[in-house]
Structure 1
Amino acid sequence: MSGTLTLPMLGLILFCVLAETAREVCFKQSASENALLAAMTKPVTWLGIVFWAVELFAWTAVLERVPLTIAFPLMALSYVVVVLAGGMIFKENINLRHAMGVFLVTAGVACVGVTGL
Protein backbone atom coordinates (compact mmCIF):
# COMPACT_ATOMS: atom_id res chain seq x y z
CA MET A 1 0.00 0.00 0.00
CA SER A 2 1.44 3.33 -1.03
CA GLY A 3 -0.23 5.25 1.77
CA THR A 4 -1.53 7.96 -0.54
CA LEU A 5 -4.66 8.60 -2.49
CA THR A 6 -4.13 8.61 -6.25
CA LEU A 7 -6.60 10.02 -8.75
CA PRO A 8 -7.56 6.55 -10.06
CA MET A 9 -8.28 5.42 -6.50
CA LEU A 10 -10.27 8.59 -5.83
CA GLY A 11 -12.27 7.75 -8.94
CA LEU A 12 -12.87 4.22 -7.68
CA ILE A 13 -14.00 5.57 -4.31
CA LEU A 14 -16.43 7.90 -6.08
CA PHE A 15 -17.68 4.90 -8.06
CA CYS A 16 -18.27 3.12 -4.74
CA VAL A 17 -20.21 6.15 -3.49
CA LEU A 18 -22.40 6.07 -6.61
CA ALA A 19 -22.91 2.30 -6.37
CA GLU A 20 -23.92 2.65 -2.73
CA THR A 21 -26.33 5.43 -3.62
CA ALA A 22 -27.84 3.36 -6.43
CA ARG A 23 -28.22 0.44 -4.03
CA GLU A 24 -30.03 2.58 -1.45
CA VAL A 25 -32.33 4.08 -4.09
CA CYS A 26 -33.18 0.58 -5.35
CA PHE A 27 -33.90 -0.67 -1.83
CA LYS A 28 -36.01 2.39 -1.04
CA GLN A 29 -37.94 1.90 -4.28
CA SER A 30 -38.65 -1.73 -3.44
CA ALA A 31 -39.58 -1.03 0.18
CA SER A 32 -43.25 -0.77 0.95
CA GLU A 33 -45.72 -1.73 3.61
CA ASN A 34 -45.61 -5.26 2.26
CA ALA A 35 -43.65 -8.05 3.84
CA LEU A 36 -40.01 -8.72 3.14
CA LEU A 37 -40.91 -11.65 0.92
CA ALA A 38 -42.92 -9.36 -1.34
CA ALA A 39 -39.94 -7.02 -1.67
CA MET A 40 -37.70 -9.94 -2.60
CA THR A 41 -39.84 -10.64 -5.66
CA LYS A 42 -39.27 -7.17 -7.10
CA PRO A 43 -36.55 -6.80 -9.77
CA VAL A 44 -35.44 -3.48 -8.30
CA THR A 45 -34.50 -5.30 -5.07
CA TRP A 46 -32.25 -7.63 -7.02
CA LEU A 47 -30.75 -4.69 -8.89
CA GLY A 48 -29.87 -3.21 -5.50
CA ILE A 49 -28.19 -6.48 -4.54
CA VAL A 50 -26.16 -6.36 -7.77
CA PHE A 51 -25.02 -2.82 -6.91
CA TRP A 52 -24.08 -4.11 -3.46
CA ALA A 53 -21.93 -6.90 -4.98
CA VAL A 54 -20.25 -4.57 -7.46
CA GLU A 55 -19.47 -2.12 -4.69
CA LEU A 56 -17.99 -4.93 -2.59
CA PHE A 57 -15.44 -5.77 -5.27
CA ALA A 58 -14.62 -2.14 -6.01
CA TRP A 59 -14.28 -1.31 -2.31
CA THR A 60 -11.96 -4.27 -1.78
CA ALA A 61 -9.76 -2.96 -4.60
CA VAL A 62 -9.69 0.46 -2.92
CA LEU A 63 -8.72 -1.02 0.44
CA GLU A 64 -5.82 -2.90 -1.15
CA ARG A 65 -4.25 0.42 -2.17
CA VAL A 66 -5.53 3.22 0.06
CA PRO A 67 -5.22 3.50 3.84
CA LEU A 68 -8.51 2.91 5.62
CA THR A 69 -8.07 6.21 7.48
CA ILE A 70 -8.35 8.01 4.14
CA ALA A 71 -10.70 5.75 2.18
CA PHE A 72 -13.42 5.27 4.77
CA PRO A 73 -14.05 8.95 5.55
CA LEU A 74 -14.31 9.62 1.80
CA MET A 75 -17.09 7.03 1.65
CA ALA A 76 -19.04 9.43 3.88
CA LEU A 77 -19.80 11.25 0.65
CA SER A 78 -22.42 8.55 0.16
CA TYR A 79 -24.40 10.19 2.98
CA VAL A 80 -24.45 13.40 0.99
CA VAL A 81 -25.35 11.78 -2.32
CA VAL A 82 -28.06 9.60 -0.76
CA VAL A 83 -29.67 12.66 0.84
CA LEU A 84 -29.61 14.47 -2.51
CA ALA A 85 -31.05 11.41 -4.27
CA GLY A 86 -33.80 11.14 -1.65
CA GLY A 87 -34.72 14.76 -2.21
CA MET A 88 -34.62 14.60 -6.00
CA ILE A 89 -36.02 11.11 -6.68
CA PHE A 90 -38.42 10.59 -3.79
CA LYS A 91 -39.22 14.26 -3.13
CA GLU A 92 -38.17 13.88 0.51
CA ASN A 93 -37.98 17.07 2.56
CA ILE A 94 -34.50 18.42 3.31
CA ASN A 95 -34.80 21.18 5.91
CA LEU A 96 -32.12 23.72 6.82
CA ARG A 97 -30.73 21.69 9.72
CA HIS A 98 -30.50 18.60 7.52
CA ALA A 99 -28.80 20.59 4.76
CA MET A 100 -26.34 22.04 7.27
CA GLY A 101 -25.44 18.55 8.45
CA VAL A 102 -24.84 17.46 4.86
CA PHE A 103 -22.64 20.52 4.38
CA LEU A 104 -20.60 19.65 7.48
CA VAL A 105 -20.12 16.06 6.29
CA THR A 106 -18.95 17.41 2.94
CA ALA A 107 -16.52 19.79 4.64
CA GLY A 108 -15.12 16.93 6.70
CA VAL A 109 -14.70 14.75 3.63
CA ALA A 110 -12.90 17.62 1.88
CA CYS A 111 -10.48 17.90 4.80
CA VAL A 112 -9.72 14.17 4.68
CA GLY A 113 -9.43 14.18 0.89
CA VAL A 114 -6.97 17.04 0.85
CA THR A 115 -4.92 15.30 3.54
CA GLY A 116 -4.71 12.12 1.47
CA LEU A 117 -3.72 13.68 -1.86
Structure 2
Amino acid sequence: MTLDPTTIGLLAYCIAAEIGRELCFKSAADGAQSATHYAVGLAQRPLLWLGLTLWTSEAVALVLALERAPLSVVYPITNLPYAGIPIAGALLFRERLSRSQMAGAALIAVGVVCVGASGL
Protein backbone atom coordinates (compact mmCIF):
# COMPACT_ATOMS: atom_id res chain seq x y z
CA MET A 1 0.00 0.00 0.00
CA THR A 2 1.20 3.53 -0.73
CA LEU A 3 -0.15 6.81 0.54
CA ASP A 4 -1.59 9.15 -2.05
CA PRO A 5 -0.60 12.84 -2.07
CA THR A 6 -3.87 13.90 -0.41
CA THR A 7 -3.34 11.53 2.52
CA ILE A 8 0.27 12.64 2.87
CA GLY A 9 -0.93 16.25 2.93
CA LEU A 10 -3.56 15.48 5.55
CA LEU A 11 -0.99 13.74 7.74
CA ALA A 12 1.50 16.57 7.32
CA TYR A 13 -1.22 19.01 8.33
CA CYS A 14 -2.04 16.91 11.41
CA ILE A 15 1.60 16.97 12.49
CA ALA A 16 2.04 20.70 11.85
CA ALA A 17 -1.30 21.57 13.47
CA GLU A 18 -0.50 19.60 16.62
CA ILE A 19 2.90 21.22 16.98
CA GLY A 20 1.37 24.65 16.30
CA ARG A 21 -1.43 23.98 18.76
CA GLU A 22 0.95 23.16 21.59
CA LEU A 23 3.08 26.23 20.84
CA CYS A 24 -0.07 28.38 20.90
CA PHE A 25 -1.17 26.88 24.21
CA LYS A 26 2.26 27.42 25.75
CA SER A 27 2.40 31.02 24.58
CA ALA A 28 -1.13 31.71 25.80
CA ALA A 29 -0.37 30.13 29.18
CA ASP A 30 2.81 32.17 29.56
CA GLY A 31 0.97 35.37 28.63
CA ALA A 32 -1.86 34.77 31.07
CA GLN A 33 0.35 34.23 34.13
CA SER A 34 0.34 37.90 35.06
CA ALA A 35 -3.46 38.22 34.86
CA THR A 36 -5.38 38.81 38.07
CA HIS A 37 -7.75 35.99 37.13
CA TYR A 38 -5.79 33.38 35.21
CA ALA A 39 -8.78 31.85 33.39
CA VAL A 40 -10.00 35.26 32.23
CA GLY A 41 -6.49 36.24 31.16
CA LEU A 42 -6.14 32.97 29.29
CA ALA A 43 -9.48 33.41 27.53
CA GLN A 44 -8.33 36.82 26.35
CA ARG A 45 -5.25 35.40 24.63
CA PRO A 46 -5.81 35.09 20.85
CA LEU A 47 -3.25 32.30 20.67
CA LEU A 48 -5.43 30.16 22.92
CA TRP A 49 -8.22 30.45 20.37
CA LEU A 50 -5.86 29.76 17.49
CA GLY A 51 -4.69 26.64 19.33
CA LEU A 52 -8.27 25.48 19.82
CA THR A 53 -8.97 26.10 16.13
CA LEU A 54 -5.91 24.06 15.18
CA TRP A 55 -7.08 21.28 17.50
CA THR A 56 -10.49 21.16 15.83
CA SER A 57 -9.15 21.31 12.29
CA GLU A 58 -6.58 18.64 13.10
CA ALA A 59 -9.35 16.30 14.27
CA VAL A 60 -11.17 16.79 10.97
CA ALA A 61 -7.97 16.19 8.97
CA LEU A 62 -7.26 13.06 11.02
CA VAL A 63 -10.71 11.62 10.30
CA LEU A 64 -10.21 12.33 6.59
CA ALA A 65 -6.79 10.65 6.68
CA LEU A 66 -8.29 7.62 8.44
CA GLU A 67 -10.85 7.30 5.65
CA ARG A 68 -7.98 6.93 3.19
CA ALA A 69 -5.36 4.91 5.07
CA PRO A 70 -5.20 2.22 7.76
CA LEU A 71 -4.94 3.13 11.42
CA SER A 72 -1.72 1.10 11.61
CA VAL A 73 -0.10 3.66 9.30
CA VAL A 74 -1.88 6.86 10.33
CA TYR A 75 -1.51 6.53 14.10
CA PRO A 76 2.28 6.17 14.25
CA ILE A 77 2.78 9.06 11.83
CA THR A 78 0.54 11.35 13.85
CA ASN A 79 2.78 10.76 16.86
CA LEU A 80 5.70 12.62 15.28
CA PRO A 81 4.77 15.75 17.27
CA TYR A 82 6.11 13.97 20.37
CA ALA A 83 9.51 14.51 18.77
CA GLY A 84 8.74 17.85 17.13
CA ILE A 85 7.14 19.73 20.03
CA PRO A 86 10.20 19.69 22.32
CA ILE A 87 12.40 20.80 19.42
CA ALA A 88 9.97 23.60 18.54
CA GLY A 89 9.85 24.62 22.20
CA ALA A 90 13.63 24.84 22.27
CA LEU A 91 13.68 26.93 19.10
CA LEU A 92 10.83 29.31 19.91
CA PHE A 93 10.84 29.53 23.69
CA ARG A 94 14.56 28.95 24.25
CA GLU A 95 13.79 25.93 26.40
CA ARG A 96 16.79 23.74 27.04
CA LEU A 97 16.82 20.15 25.88
CA SER A 98 19.15 17.67 27.52
CA ARG A 99 21.05 15.15 25.46
CA SER A 100 18.71 12.43 26.64
CA GLN A 101 15.69 14.49 25.54
CA MET A 102 17.25 15.01 22.10
CA ALA A 103 18.08 11.30 21.88
CA GLY A 104 14.52 10.47 22.91
CA ALA A 105 13.09 12.73 20.21
CA ALA A 106 15.33 11.07 17.63
CA LEU A 107 14.28 7.60 18.82
CA ILE A 108 10.61 8.57 18.59
CA ALA A 109 11.10 9.80 15.03
CA VAL A 110 12.95 6.60 14.04
CA GLY A 111 10.33 4.46 15.78
CA VAL A 112 7.51 6.26 13.99
CA VAL A 113 9.19 5.64 10.65
CA CYS A 114 9.72 1.95 11.47
CA VAL A 115 6.19 1.32 12.72
CA GLY A 116 4.51 3.45 10.05
CA ALA A 117 6.56 2.03 7.19
CA SER A 118 5.81 -1.54 8.27
CA GLY A 119 2.13 -0.84 7.64
CA LEU A 120 2.72 0.28 4.06
Structure 1 alignment gaps of length 5 or more: none
1:103 lines up with 2:101 in the alignment = no
User: In the aligned structure 2, how far is the partner of 1:55 from the partner of 1:19?
Assistant: 6
TM-score normalised by structure 2 residue count: 0.87
* RMSD of Structure 2 on Structure 1 (CA): 1.4
Give the equivalent residue in structure 2 for 1:10. Answer: 8
Amino acid at match of 2:15: V
The structural deviation recorded for 1:7 is 3.7
Structure 1 contact 5–116 (Cα < 8 Å) conserved: no
Larger RCO: Structure 1 or Structure 2 (Cα < 8 Å, ≥ 6 residues apart)? 1
1:68 lines up with 2:71 in the alignment = yes
For these two proteins, the number of residue pairs brought into alignment is 114
Amino acid at match of 2:17: A
Q: How does 1:1-80 map to 2 (within 5 A)?
A: 4-8=1-5, 9-32=7-30, 33=33, 34=35, 35-80=38-83
User: In the aligned structure 1, how far is the partner of 2:4 from the partner of 2:61?
Assistant: 15
User: In the aligned structure 1, how far is the partner of 2:81 from the partner of 2:103?
Assistant: 16
TM-score normalised by structure 1 residue count: 0.89
Give the equivalent residue in structure 2 for 1:94. Answer: 97
SS of residue in 2 equivalent to 1:14? helix
User: In the aligned structure 2, how far is the partner of 1:24 from the partner of 1:104?
Assistant: 21
Structure 2 contact 24–48 (Cα < 8 Å) conserved: yes
Structure 2 alignment gaps of length 5 or more: none
